[in-house]
Amino acid sequence: MCGIAGIYAYLDVAPKVDRAELARMNARMAPRGPDGSGDWYSTDERVGFTHRRLAIIELSDLGAQPMHSEDGSLTITFNGEIYNYPELRAELVAKGYRFRSHSDTEVLLQLYRDRGPAMVEALRGMFAFGLWDARQRRLVLARDPLGIRPLYYADDGWTVRFASTAKALLAGGAVSRDPDPAGIVGFHLFGCVPEPFTVWQDIRAVPAGCVLTVDASGPHAPRPYYDVASALAQRTVEAPRSPADAREQLSAAVHDSVRHHLVADVPVAVFLSAGLDSGALLGTMAELGARDTLAVTLAFEEFRGKPLDEAPLAAEIAARYGARHVVRTVDRTEFERDLPAILDAMDLPSTDGINTWFVAKAAREAGIKVALSGLGADECFGGYESFVDVPRSVHLLRPFDFLPGVGALARRLLSNGIGAGLGLHPKAAGVLEYGGGWAGAYLLRRSVYMPWELRDLLEPAVLEEGLRRLAPLSRIADVLKDGRTLGDFDRVAALETSLYMRNQLLRDADWAGLAHSIEIRVPYVDPFFLAALPPGKTLATLNAKAAVADVPRPPLPAASRGRRKTGFVTPVGRWLSEAAGVVDDGSFSTASRAWLRRVWTAGWTGPTLA
């Protein structure tokens, strides 16, 4: 895992690359790559790349970046890991391509020479890269299918700049800090900023599953090569004939993904909770031959000896699979001490990521560089309440969609009632107006605030412009535009994967992990894994969330199967609320709203809360 950045002055009249600017961008990403740093500039000084290295594969200098093709016509700066690079390398060698190293980065160069930008479709892994094709005078920016690795860019009409983090672009000093109302409204709605927006109007994310090219005419529109809903709709795996077959299919998919995610030249650890997802990863690692694996668990003094304490059950799971177990206890004092560093590392404002910060910190203290995480399992296996709540809402309330104005009227009346103290949750006002459609029902389920509540939080001009450009219902509905044949389970899976997981969980894993120079790998977030799973209807019938406990041999202990999913029910939720001056009622909503206000008022550029 690494930090990448680059500048391409594509117009002839644009100034040449400012080396000091690129150096500032590199310095802002130092924690992402403590093992090395490199720069490259084209002979005409119209293109410059920089790189911070966290050495995971090919630890020698042969893996250093930016890396060049043998003839110098191709140069790449790459962030990520390609898990199927040995197979791709073998294919290229059979075609006559020669290699100087055993790095996955060199495979990318040769694969581009062989297939051009379409090479991204063959890659299994997490990646973001900038590649300069000197023969075509073309910059290619690409991002992995599910958006595990971030990539941002800014275009001023003369020059394109790109980087692994938005804050690195700002650190260069040439990108405007003017706020973006769409990103600001998005953060207050969802607790994260929906891509491609950021909270700065001149900075955009390269969308997940897209390739963006820049030539002498400037950036072209991002070209998508992967879409979650269409991939689920076109899944070609044969439907299992029996529950036993479905379990075997699930097990084979997990084993295959974990095997690929263990590719590394350094030890691979695991973030271990008391839940099923991470325990299944550890058990599968042991079954595949991993020995003396380090398992890292977070604990809290407030929970010691209580049902919410994950450490005892995690210790049982670790012992079951022969792992070395490290339990890291976090208290409020450490949280408050780390809070300024957390906010500084947080690339875009977020209402999550705190637990990842501390477990990554513990891994770094233990001398680890790479760890597997169970992130993404809930999206695959139906582990969220949204898999029940959203379809139920749509099917029950759809008739109200055909009664114009009724939902809006009910919302206005209930909003007034809430203000008068009826004791209803603020979202209750929008149930009739939003609950009958997939986009509206999902917004109700996942939003921190609903649109009408933002009148009390944001300036009117910011809110109006932000809602117009963000168009939240249309943005959610677009996720399903190529998945009209999907069943209820797969529809929710596509929504959770494309929105909540991508915009919040994966982004938080990136900044919180790499703030401590930890590469977080996510075997459940893999298009090849998704394609190998049984259809969504089968997963729902099978109760895949529970079935994953039987994937490793021996299976997970019985105690882990009955343990309630905790989520935000940790001291961190209370600390966040108290830090924001809000009385904590133990709910996800209260903690999220309190933390949203705390994050936003901590100094993010742009209009503040009213």
Please give the Cα distance from 153 to 354 (Å, whole number): 26
Residue 465 predicted with pLDDT over 90 = yes
Using alpha carbons only, what angle is made at residue 106 by residues 103 and 108, rounded to the nearest 5 degrees? 115
Query: For the residues 402-418, what does the mean pLDDT come to?
Result: 65
Would you give the end-to-end CA distance of the chain in angstroms?
A: 39
8 A C-beta contact, residue 545 and residue 381: yes
Residue 565 predicted with pLDDT over 90 = no
Q: What is residue 568's three-state secondary structure?
A: coil
Residue 238 predicted with pLDDT over 90 = no
Which sign, positive or negative, has the C-alpha torsion 113, 119, 124, 127?
A: positive
What's the gap between Cα 402 and its chain centre? 36
Residue 408 predicted with pLDDT over 70 = no
CB atoms within 10 A of CB 605: 14
pLDDT value, residue 429: 73
Peptide bond preceding 179 in cis form (omega within 30 of 0): no
pLDDT band at residue 237 using 50, 70 and 90 as cut-offs: confident
Query: For the residues 233-243, what does the mean pLDDT come to?
Result: 86
Strand partners, 126: 81
pLDDT band at residue 595 using 50, 70 and 90 as cut-offs: confident
pLDDT value, residue 423: 59
Mean pLDDT of the chain: 91
* Token output for 179: 């706020």
Domain borders along the chain are: 2-225, 230-375+500-566, 386-478
- Of 378 and 408, the structure prediction assigns the larger pLDDT to 378
Please give the Cα distance from 199 to 178 (Å, whole number): 8
Buried b (16+ CB within 10 A) or exposed e, 105-130: bbbbbbbbbeeebebbeebbbbbbbb
Query: For the residues 361-365, what does the mean pLDDT come to?
Result: 97
* Closest to 162 (Cα-Cα) out of 173, 152, 175, 177: 152
pLDDT value, residue 414: 65
Strand partners, 154: 161
Q: Given the DSSP bridges, would you call strands 47-53 and 67-68 parallel, antiparallel or unpaired?
A: unpaired
CB atoms within 10 A of CB 28: 21
26-57 per-position pLDDT tens digit? 999 999 999 999 999 999 999 999 999 999 99
CATH topology assigned to domain 230-375+500-566: Rossmann fold (3.40.50)
284-303 per-position pLDDT tens digit? 999 999 999 999 999 988 88
Q: Given the DSSP bridges, would you call strands 324-330 and 223-224 parallel, antiparallel or unpaired?
A: unpaired
Residues shown for the chain: 610
pLDDT value, residue 488: 97
* Token output for 174: 């040439």
Helix (H) and strand (E) counts for the chain? 26, 18
What's the gap between Cα 131 and its chain centre? 23
pLDDT band at residue 232 using 50, 70 and 90 as cut-offs: very high
pLDDT value, residue 108: 98
pLDDT value, residue 607: 45
Query: For the residues 17-25, what does the mean pLDDT come to?
Result: 98
Q: What is residue 38's three-state secondary structure?
A: strand
* Token output for 476: 């959610």
Query: For the residues 101-130, what does the mean pLDDT come to?
Result: 97
Strands across the sheet with 152-155, in order?
Answer: 36-41, 47-53, 2-9, 159-163, 152-155, 204-205
pLDDT band at residue 410 using 50, 70 and 90 as cut-offs: low
Residues of the chain with pLDDT > 90, as a percent, come to: 79
pTM comes to 0.94
Phi, psi of 357 (to 5 degrees): -55, -50
pLDDT value, residue 572: 73
8 A C-beta contact, residue 563 and residue 313: yes
Query: For the residues 499-513, what does the mean pLDDT come to?
Result: 97
Q: Given the DSSP bridges, would you call strands 74-82 and 67-68 parallel, antiparallel or unpaired?
A: antiparallel
**Which residue is associated with the tokens 């958006």?**
147
- Cβ neighbors of 306 (< 8 A, separation 6 or more) are none
pLDDT band at residue 400 using 50, 70 and 90 as cut-offs: confident
**Which residue is associated with the tokens 């929105």?**
499
Please give the Cα distance from 114 to 96 (Å, whole number): 11
Max distance between CA atoms of the chain, in angstroms, equals 76
596-610 per-position pLDDT tens digit? 888 888 777 544 443
pLDDT value, residue 398: 86
The alpha carbons of the chain give a radius of gyration, in whole angstroms, of 24
8 A C-beta contact, residue 494 and residue 486: yes
Give me the DSSP letters along 545-604.
HHHGGGSSSSPPPHHHHSPPP-TT-SHHHHHHHHHTT----S-HHHHHHHHHHHHHTTT-
418-438 per-position pLDDT tens digit? 544 555 667 777 787 888 999
pLDDT value, residue 148: 98
8 A C-beta contact, residue 250 and residue 536: no
Buried b (16+ CB within 10 A) or exposed e, 479-502: bbebbeebbbbbbbbbbbbbbbbb
CB atoms within 10 A of CB 153: 26
Q: In the CATH scheme, what architecture does the domain 2-225 have?
A: 4-Layer Sandwich (3.60)
Residues of the chain with pLDDT > 70, as a percent, come to: 91
Please give the Cα distance from 283 to 562 (Å, whole number): 18
8 A C-beta contact, residue 95 and residue 56: no
pLDDT value, residue 286: 97
Please give the Cα distance from 129 to 111 (Å, whole number): 14
- Of 415 and 148, the structure prediction assigns the larger pLDDT to 148
Question: Exposure of 561 by Cβ count < 10 A (0-12 exposed, 13-18 middle, 19+ buried)?
Answer: middle
Question: Of the given ranges (336-340, 360-364, 400-404), which has the lowest mean pLDDT?
Answer: 400-404
pLDDT value, residue 416: 66
Strand partners, 139: 132, 214
pLDDT band at residue 227 using 50, 70 and 90 as cut-offs: very high
pLDDT value, residue 609: 41
Please give the Cα distance from 214 to 218 (Å, whole number): 5
DSSP H/E element including 51: strand 47-53
- Cβ neighbors of 555 (< 8 A, separation 6 or more) are 283, 549
Which sign, positive or negative, has the C-alpha torsion 299, 300, 301, 304?
A: negative
Please give the Cα distance from 160 to 45 (Å, whole number): 14
Strand partners, 570: none
